[in-house]
Structure 1
Amino acid sequence: MSFYTSLNGMKNAQTSLGVIAHNISNSETYGFKRSRTEFSEIVAGSALTNPRMIQGIGASVESITQNFALGPVEQTGSALDLAITGDGFFTTRSAVDGTTLYTRAGSFSMSDTGHITDSAGNRLQVFPVDANGQVTGNGISDAQVPAVNAAGSEFAGVTITETGLVQASYADGSVEPIGAVALASFISPNGLKKVGSANWESTGLSGAASYGSPGSGAYGSLLSGALERSNVDIAEELVGLITAQRNFQANAKAIDTATQISQTVINLRS
């Protein structure tokens, strides 16, 4: 029994090492959120077992929990670099298959079609607005800046306010509202599914996304010209790395000790 208990402990330590290694390797990934491994005790006993004689049979990985704490904010100066100074996620949609993704990495740029996209070409989602910049509906759509305005003047630049209003400026000096950035929130963010590139997808565990404007309710404001860095604390991860390594070594030593005891018993019988 001790062989399997210790072997299970080694596998758990290996899982913990993998999670920590993943955190450390993404310490420079914008919008990345660290994870931690949580374990639970395993016991076995029937209705007739004396509760004072129940012996534990090891531990199992209960969950790998994501930590959505705010990471450090780095100033970049680019108008389309956005950081959320609170809760919420940017919403993007793939132009290829229509997949909806959620992210904290706000590094956006203009595409050749005038869409505001991330590095993978996923399009930022916004609420519709009127000529005064007021939100006029709850539906979201791709953020797209016209190359020329109604007067025929060419596009000159784009800015995004702390309340998420996307404004395009043109060569004739006019400024036109394009939309308002839609932030998403979830009743259980830990239920979001990682899909890579600091993106998540909603699941049955996270619940459906609720959309709102930056700076309203529980949604954080936007900071233009800045990006949110990874929330990984290298010092904390290195301590966890040492602990996981010691746990692995201790379980390996327990297996070695059980082997020696078994060998001693076999020698006694012979």
Structure 2
Amino acid sequence: MSFNIGLSGIRAASSDLDITGNNIANAGTVGFKGSRAEFSDVYAASVLGSGSNAQGSGVLLGNVAQQFTQGNINFTENSLDLAINGNGFFVTSNDGALSYTRAGYFGTDRDGFISNNFGERLQGFGVNPVTGQINQGVQTDLRVDTRSADPRATSVVDSTLNLNSTNVRPAIWQQAYDTEIAAGGTPADALAAARDTFDPTNSATYNSSTSVNIFDSLGNAHTLTKYFVKTDGNQWDMFTMIDGRQVTNDPATNNALPTDAAFAPTPTELTFNSVGELTTPQPLGSIQNWVPLDSAGRETGAESPASFDIDLAGSTQFAASFAVTAVVQDGFTTGDLAGLEIDDAGLLVARYTNGQTRTQGQVVLANFANQQGLTPLGKTAWAQSSASGEPVVGAPGTGTQGSIQSGALEQSNVDLSEQLINLIISQRNYQANAKTIQTADAVTQTIINLR
């Protein structure tokens, strides 16, 4: 009996050494979870059960329990390195066979799929190609779309600005107006004559101007410039030019240069009230007949004629310098993929060189009712088992799922100092159990030597 007890103790101590050694060996393994040996005592029992004075029969290894505690988060230079802060596992697929891991070193394969070092593809929710929204609940292989972002033509230009109320009419404007009145013209004739003096190449013919880039349907950039001419106390004319050419609703005079005979820009009238508020209804209306041209005056091939709205809502006329406080236009040129980001909710966001972003998917996490019931597969991965229960899959930060940290990796949760102490304890246990066998051998030898 003593030999068996000592032998069971040696086996248990040897298992403890193996488990401790494995923890130490994986102290630098990303996403590794340390294990501990859980032992149980053994008692011999008859059919009727063991008596109250039963002697122990040794020890057995009851369980090797992994410790799913949080590891330290170390930051890296790779945006596709992912760390989980809290509960959950990344879900990976190897030709449909799912496994679960905390090791978040991911990259893209030759087909653009996000995968780990072993070629297993990261799982997540895809994006509806029509709406651009996340398809919640539809799990798929996450893939990075490296195609260029399509351009979008400008459909509205919103500007908020202040026109200086202390400005006076340009001298050239006033001279033309006065000349027409002196010649017996009506105020309407005089106003038309004054407006004809506008020349975008001569800053003396207007009070203020501001420009913004707009885009045609092919993503070509064009410069929209608005010129403001004060005509009365609370009245202003706004002339609109694109790439230095006039924009009118008459195709015959559209796109004329200031040097062309057809150049006859038509202004939009702006009216402010006595407290400096713009009272002209907004938006001002659509630019209807714009034909996008290149620098040589040839059509770009974009959608033509193009149209967009101009909106000056919120603009003012105060006794302050001319200033543009906000400008927004919704068009953009084509853009190449410049980078990827994954936020703490797992959203995979692509950044493009045109300043736009696009959501390409969402990483999912899986959690289990009994993490100890997971089956270790190696490669820092686990598989579902009957003991673990079904995986609860969801977006990071929802339910019991943790959050994701991009550009970081979760380190092993092994405490080396603790493991080194365990080595000493295991060694002592091994030696003590060996001593039990040695003592039992000595006693047995004494009996054998009886004559």
Kept after mapping to 2: 8 A contact 1:132/1:177: no
Partner of 2:125: 127
What are the ranges of 5 or more consecutive residues in structure 2 without an aligned counterpart? 151-333
Partner of 2:139: 140
How big is the shift at 1:154? 3.5
Could you tell me how far apart the structure 2 residues matched to 1:179 and 1:70 are? 26
Kept after mapping to 2: 8 A contact 1:133/1:179: no
Kept after mapping to 2: 8 A contact 1:72/1:230: yes
Kept after mapping to 2: 8 A contact 1:126/1:140: yes
Could you tell me how far apart the structure 1 residues matched to 2:29 and 2:50 are? 52
Is the alpha carbon distance of 1:138 and 1:55 closer, same or farther for their aligned partners in structure 2, counting shifts above 3 Å?
same
Could you tell me how far apart the structure 1 residues matched to 2:120 and 2:359 are? 21
Partner of 1:263: 445
How big is the shift at 1:81? 1.0
Partner of 1:12: 12
Structure-1-length-normalised TM-score? 0.93
* Ranges of 4+ aligned residues in structure 1 off by more than 4 Å: 47-50, 130-134
1:225 aligns with 2:407: yes
Could you tell me how far apart the structure 2 residues matched to 1:50 and 1:33 are? 39
Q: Percent identical across equivalent pairs?
A: 43
Could you tell me how far apart the structure 1 residues matched to 2:52 and 2:136 are? 63
Kept after mapping to 2: 8 A contact 1:148/1:170: no
* Higher gyration radius (CA): 2
* Alignment length (residue pairs): 267
Secondary structure (helix, strand or coil) at the match of 2:124 reads strand
Secondary structure (helix, strand or coil) at the match of 2:136 reads coil
Partner of 2:305: none
Structure-2-length-normalised TM-score? 0.57
Is the alpha carbon distance of 1:47 and 1:65 closer, same or farther for their aligned partners in structure 2, counting shifts above 3 Å?
same
Partner of 1:42: 42
Partner of 2:77: 77
Kept after mapping to 2: 8 A contact 1:12/1:60: yes
Partner of 2:436: 254
How big is the shift at 1:49? 6.5
What are the ranges of 5 or more consecutive residues in structure 1 without an aligned counterpart? none
Could you tell me how far apart the structure 2 residues matched to 1:51 and 1:180 are? 61
Could you tell me how far apart the structure 1 residues matched to 2:50 and 2:9 are? 26
Partner of 1:91: 91
How big is the shift at 1:101? 1.2
Amino acid corresponding to residue 19 of structure 1 in structure 2: I
**Coordinate RMSD, CA, aligned:** 1.8
25-34 or 41-50: bigger deviation: 41-50
**Residue 350 of structure 2: which of 165, 168, 187 is its match?**
168
1:91-240 equivalences in 2 (<5 Å) = 91-94=91-94, 97-130=95-128, 134-149=133-148, 151=150, 153-240=335-422
How big is the shift at 1:99? 1.6
Partner of 2:322: none
Is the alpha carbon distance of 1:216 and 1:133 closer, same or farther for their aligned partners in structure 2, counting shifts above 3 Å?
farther
